[in-house]
Amino acid sequence: MRRGTVRRHRVSLAAFCRNGLSMAKVFIPTARLENGSEMQKLSLGLYNVPRDQVKAVVDAGLAAGLRSFDSASFYDNEVEVGEALRSWMASGHDRSELFVTTKVWTTDLGDPESAARSAETWGP
């Protein structure tokens, strides 16, 4: 490797899940919000996660103890993320345990309804 060159190794969580491996539950530090809620300081970013792998990735994150997820309409997988989270809630978990972050993309800045559409896509 040449001097000054940085090698980046990316571990694909989707590949990790596909191989039948599971994540151990981990301690994730939290921050107390003004309303008294505790929010994890670590979110699972879902950029570049293909739609057909979203459920496995979200399920692995939930199994590891993650309760904060980050996406955007631009990622083109919000529907699948919402489905995975609704499935988890249907198994007896409460929505109040989750924090979901989405972004209004630059192409939607002039559209005041774009945030509402994302919220509908994510579900309850």
- For the annotated catalytic residues, the residue numbers are 75
Contact indicator for 23, 66 with CB cutoff of 8 Å? no
- Point out which residues pair with 101 in neighbouring strands: 70
**CA dist., res. 85 & res. 119, Å (int):** 13
- Under 8 Å between Cβ of 123 and 86: yes
